[in-house]
Amino acid sequence: MQRLRDVLRRVTPGDSGDGGAPDVPTGGAEPTADSGDSSELRSDGGERTDSPRTSSELRSDGGATVTGERTDSETGTLRSLTSSDFVQSIPFWLPPFLLMAFFVYGAIGWNLVISLTDFSGLILPEYAISEFDLEMYRQAFSDPTFWTAARNTLVLLVVFTTVCLLFGMLLAILIDQGIRFENTFRTIYLLPMSLSFVVTAKFWAWMYNPQIGMINVTLRQFGLGFLTTQWISNPSTKLAAVIFALIWQYSGYAMVVYLAGLRAIPTAHYEAARVDGASTIKMYWRVILPQLRASTMSAAVVLMVFALKAFDFLYVMFGNHPGPAADILATMMFREAFGSNNWAYGSAIAIVLFGMALAVVTPYLYSEYRRGEL
C-alpha cells in the first residue's frame, strides 16, 4: 500500500510540475511554422493561461504531427484518456487484473475483516462494524505460542536466507571457473527446486530417520556415532534440520541468480584485477562481490518468500503440530483456522504474517521501481 502511494505521489505532481514546461515550447513552436500570429500563441503558452481556443488548436496540432502522442499537459491527459491506446489496452489487462485482484487483494481485505470478528466453529461470521474489535490480535500478542512461532519464523527467514545466499554464491563462483560439463553440474544443483515440498519432506524424513536413516548411518560409519541424534524429534535440532533441508532444496536458486549476475560483469574487470596482481580471493572480495548487490537483493527477497511458504514442508513432516521448536506462523495459522476452527484467530495471525512479507517486499519493489526495473 505504501508503495502504491509512493507511485501515485511520484506520478501525479511530477506530471503537473515538469509536464507543463516541456510542453510549452513544443506547443508554441509547432504553430510558428504554419500560422501567422505565432507571437501571440507563444506568449499565451508561456503564461500558461490556456484559453479554450489555444488548447483546441494545440490538440489538433498534436494530432497532425503524430509524434506528439505523449505530451504530458492537461490536453495530453485528456487525449490519452480518450485516445485509442488506453481504451484499447483495457480488454487485455482488465479481465486478468480483476480476477487476480479479487483473489489477492479482495481476499486479503476479506481476511482482514474476518480477523476483526469472532468467527469460530460453525457459526458464520457477522460482518457488523459495531462488532469489530482487535480482540484476536490481543489474544495473539498475549499467547506465548504466537511469540514462539514468530521467533521461529524470524530465525527461519534470517538463517535460511543468509546461508542460502552464501552457499549459492559459492556455487556460482565454482561453476563460473570455466569448468567442463557446466550445464550438467548446474542442472543437478538446481534439481531439488523442481520437486514438491511434499516429495522433499518425504525424502528428508527418511534421511533423518534416527535408526536407519542415511545421516545417522553415515555418521556412525565415520566413527562419529556420538553426533547422531533424533534430528527431527529432538527440539534442539528440529528447526536446524528443517532449515538444512530447505537450503538443500533452494540453494540452487541463489546459484542461478548469482551466476546471471557474474556473467553480466564485463571480463575486463576480472582482467584488470589480475593485472593489478590481486589474488583470486582478493579479486572476488574487492572487485566482483560488490557488483552483485542487485543479485543479492532480488535473490534474498525471493528466498524469504520461499521461507514464508515453507508450510508445506513442515506440514508433511510434522502434520498440524510441529511442536514449539519448529512451529512457524504459517503452521500456527493453519492449525488454528483449519485444525481448531478458530477462523478469526487464524486470520489475525495471517495478517501478521502478511505484514512481515510486506515489510520485506515493499522496500525491494520500491527500489526496483526507482531503478526503472519494474
Residues in region 292-321 near other proteins by CB under 8 A: 301-302, 305, 308-309, 311-312, 315-316
Cell of 255: 546459484
Q: Among residues 143, 316, 167, 373, which one has the least CA distance to residue 254?
A: 167
Spatial contact of 345 and 136, defined as CB atoms under 8 Å apart? yes
Answer for which of 4, 21, 154, 158 binds other proteins (CB under 8 A) is 4
Cα 173 to Cα 199, 262, 303: the distances in Å are: 29, 8, 19
The answer for 40, left when phi > 0, alpha when psi is -120 to 50, beta otherwise, is alpha
Residue 42 interacts with other proteins (CB under 8 A): yes or no: no
Residue 78 interacts with other proteins (CB under 8 A): yes or no: no
Shortest distance in whole angstroms from residue 163 CB to other proteins: 14
Shortest distance in whole angstroms from residue 184 CB to other proteins: 9
Answer for which of 134, 195, 227, 264 binds other proteins (CB under 8 A) is 195
Residues in region 322-351 near other proteins by CB under 8 A: 329-330, 333-334, 337-338, 343, 346-347, 349-351
Residue 360 interacts with other proteins (CB under 8 A): yes or no: yes
Residue 214 interacts with other proteins (CB under 8 A): yes or no: yes
How far is Cα 197 from Cα 202, in angstroms, rounded to an integer?
8
Residue 53 or 70 with smaller CB distance to other proteins: 70
Residue 260 interacts with other proteins (CB under 8 A): yes or no: yes
Q: Where are the alpha helices (DSSP H) in the chain?
A: 2-18, 20-34, 38-47, 52-65, 74-82, 84-101, 107-116, 135-141, 144-175, 182-190, 197-207, 214-221, 235-264, 267-275, 280-282, 293-308, 311-318, 329-334, 343-370
Shortest distance in whole angstroms from residue 28 CB to other proteins: 23
Residue 194 interacts with other proteins (CB under 8 A): yes or no: yes
- CA torsion angle 47 51 56 57 (round to 10): -50
How far is Cα 367 from Cα 260, in angstroms, rounded to an integer?
20
Residue 203 interacts with other proteins (CB under 8 A): yes or no: yes
Residue 88 interacts with other proteins (CB under 8 A): yes or no: yes
Residue 117 interacts with other proteins (CB under 8 A): yes or no: no
Residue 156 interacts with other proteins (CB under 8 A): yes or no: no
Residue 24 or 185 with smaller CB distance to other proteins: 185
Give the CA angle between residues 264, 265, 268 to the nearest 5°.
135
Count Cβ atoms below 10 Å from residue 211 Cβ, excluding itself. 8
How far is Cα 14 from Cα 10, in angstroms, rounded to an integer?
6
Shortest distance in whole angstroms from residue 165 CB to other proteins: 15
Residue 213 interacts with other proteins (CB under 8 A): yes or no: yes
Cell 566413527 belongs to residue: 223
Spatial contact of 148 and 324, defined as CB atoms under 8 Å apart? yes
How far is Cα 121 from Cα 135, in angstroms, rounded to an integer?
17
Residue 270 interacts with other proteins (CB under 8 A): yes or no: no
Q: Among residues 106, 108, 128, which one has the least CA distance to residue 117?
A: 128
Residue 227 interacts with other proteins (CB under 8 A): yes or no: no
Residue 58 or 207 with smaller CB distance to other proteins: 207
Answer for which of 164, 165, 169, 171 binds other proteins (CB under 8 A) is 171
Answer for which of 28, 45, 252, 322 binds other proteins (CB under 8 A) is 252
Residue 93 or 147 with smaller CB distance to other proteins: 93
Region from 72-80, 135-143, 157-165, 226-234 binding other proteins, contact rule CB under 8 A:
72-80
Residue 183 or 236 with smaller CB distance to other proteins: 183
Shortest distance in whole angstroms from residue 118 CB to other proteins: 13
